[in-house]
Structure 1
Amino acid sequence: MGVAGAMERVAQGFDALAAVVLVIGLLFSVVLAVRAARRDGGRRGYLALRESFGGVLLLSLEVLVAADLIRTVAVSPSLESVAVLGIIVLIRTFLSFSLQVEIEGTVPWRRALTSGAVSIAQAARRPPDSD
């Protein structure tokens, strides 16, 4: 087995890892959701499931991108395969961006406006109420 064959096996390992991340992540997300639902109600359970499984999806997408990158660069480095990789990365990047916005409820460039540090700084700059 040559280098290309070994790299194909590595890429297949990354594909398998992404599948394992999805399965274990789903189970973990369900456990978190059930705990949250018992403690705080059904709505909080749904939100916990949505947030935790969204993170799992993001992680598995990143692992799949790594597999495609290894496969393209080490196994079949042709102009056509690099173009296909570029399209795949664009699609997965869009999916990751959409998932991130869905999970956090805000676009990345607005995230700083909703963070705790910015809120504290704004509160510190406000003049005290005059009674």
Structure 2
Amino acid sequence: MDFAQVFEHVARVIESVGVAIMAVGLAVVLLRYAYDVLRKGTGSYQQLRVNLGRVILLGLEILIVGDIIRTVIVATTLENVVVLGLIVVIRTVLSFALEVEISGAWPWQQHRTNGRDAA
């Protein structure tokens, strides 16, 4: 097994971990929501969305790592680099959108929503 094949497998493992985190995280978030509904009689839909968004963000970040490893080490062609760039841009936009959805502010405006600016 040569260098490229080893890192192809490493990239697959990393991507599998990202997908597993999203799948297991979804199950845990939904089970926690169902538990709250059964225990309290009502569940927090907002908390469900926040927790699900966090799981998706974590999974996306790990998937980006796998894509970078695959493109930079395994298959460095102009076409693959362009595809990687598009994938990273799309996932970054999704990450920002999810962050805004979770926190209600852009990442660089977090200090305003955390109350540190309240003077």
Deviations 1:14-45 (A, max 9, x none): 12111210111011111222244333723x1x
Q: Measure, in 1, the Cα distance between the counterparts of 2:69 and 2:79.
A: 15
Residue 51 of structure 2 corresponds to residue 59 of structure 1: no
Q: Measure, in 2, the Cα distance between the counterparts of 1:118 and 1:34.
A: 36
SS at match of 1:113: helix
Aligned partner letter, 1:4: A
Matches within 5 A, 1:17-32: 17-32=17-32
What is the deviation of 1:82?
1.3
Q: Measure, in 2, the Cα distance between the counterparts of 1:79 and 1:40.
A: 55
Question: Is the 1:26–1:56 Cα contact (8 Å) retained in structure 2?
Answer: yes
What is the deviation of 1:118?
2.7
The two structures have a TM-score, normalised by structure 1, of 0.82
1:39 maps to what in 2? 40
Q: CA RMSD in A?
A: 1.6
Contiguous gaps of at least 5 residues in structure 1: 123-131
Farther-moved stretch of structure 1 (97-106 vs 108-117): 108-117
Deviations 1:28-80 (A, max 9, x none): 111222244333723x1x12211111101001101110110000011011222
Farther-moved stretch of structure 1 (106-115 vs 10-19): 106-115
1:97 maps to what in 2? 96
Q: How many residues align?
A: 118
Q: Measure, in 1, the Cα distance between the counterparts of 2:65 and 2:111.
A: 29
Matches within 5 A, 1:81-120: 81-119=80-118
Aligned partner letter, 1:3: F
2:49 maps to what in 1? 50
SS at match of 1:118: coil
1:15 maps to what in 2? 15
Contiguous gaps of at least 5 residues in structure 2: none
SS at match of 1:77: coil
SS at match of 1:116: coil
Structure possessing the higher radius of gyration over alpha carbons: 1
